[in-house]
Amino acid sequence: MSFAVIQMVSQSDVEGNLAQARALLEQAAASGAKLAVLPENFAAMGRRDVAAIGRAEALGEGPILPWLKLAARDLKLWIVAGTVPLPPEGRPQSKVTACSLLIDDQGQQVARYDKLHLFDVDVTDNRGRYRESDDYAHGSNVVVVDTPVGRLGLTVCYDLRFPELYTALREAGAELITAPSAFTAVTGAAHWEILLRARAIETQCYVLAAAQGGIHPGPRETFGHAAIIDPWGRVLAEQAQGEAVLLAERDSQEQASIRARMPVSNHRRFFSQDALRPANTPE
């Protein structure tokens, strides 16, 4: 039931990032992890040629996907590959999505989640303006899949601000939810931990929040604070900045007990649009 969450400080050099990610995955596997989560943009940060990267990967000409499959197979490790830019399957010329892949310990892709919510916001940092939709297309599907550590729901970064997605994952049977991220230093300091803990408490799931934590090209500074949160909202492990491997185990009996004592999923009620009308609004 052991799993790992990885923090990186990825740069623009893909080969260098993959070498560093391999060392961190080796550390996770040596520590007994059965599944490891890499952060968003683990293979490259600060690149504006994500469409070219995605096309190369889709055509079998890029380094990232072969590296992932080899690492998973060599290390006998399930890997959640943070995000990789990939076009829709069978359409290599289409706009890429920020794609979170799940690779099993035989090196086979068993799930793909395309990031639903894109980070199109203004932030009071050195960069100021972020428009992910300039480079990426929105995803459209919720993804939950069985793994050796439990039933896993997939999300990415900005998805954290949309609790309805996490509710859907819980309703689909999720017991753990991944959140590979590259939160800005400004938004992370304000909201990162409270969002992670809220999503864990609401869903009564473990939240596995891999992160980028440091200075990247752009210039861009990410908040870090990769963390593992349990279904009661407790922070089991956390790393402020720099590279790290965080480890924890899922206690399935305690999780079942939490859900039985407070069966929020059974208590959820829905309301009609009429319920949103202020009480003093005339018919």
Q: Of 115, 205, 221, 238, which residue is the catalytic one?
A: 115
Of all residues in the chain, what percent are helix, strand and coil, respectively (each to 5)?
A: 35, 30, 40
Pairing of strands 215-216, 211-212: unpaired
The question of whether 76 is a catalytic residue gets the answer no
What phi and psi values does residue 59 have, to the nearest 5 degrees?
Answer: -90, 5
Residue 17, SS3 per DSSP:
helix
- Say how far apart CA 157 and CA 180 lie, in whole Å: 6
- Say how far apart CA 242 and CA 236 lie, in whole Å: 18
Q: Which residue has the tokens 């990610």?
A: 21
User: Which residue in 192, 212, 249, 223 sits closest to 20, CA to CA?
Assistant: 212
Residue 194, SS3 per DSSP:
helix
What phi and psi values does residue 76 have, to the nearest 5 degrees?
Answer: 50, 50
Which DSSP category does 134 fall into?
G
User: Which residue in 128, 176, 184, 132 sits closest to 155, CA to CA?
Assistant: 176
Q: Of 34, 99, 157, 175, which residue is the catalytic one?
A: 157
The question of whether 40 is a catalytic residue gets the answer yes
Residue 181 half-sphere exposure toward CB, CA atoms < 13 A: 35
Active-site residue set: 40, 115, 157
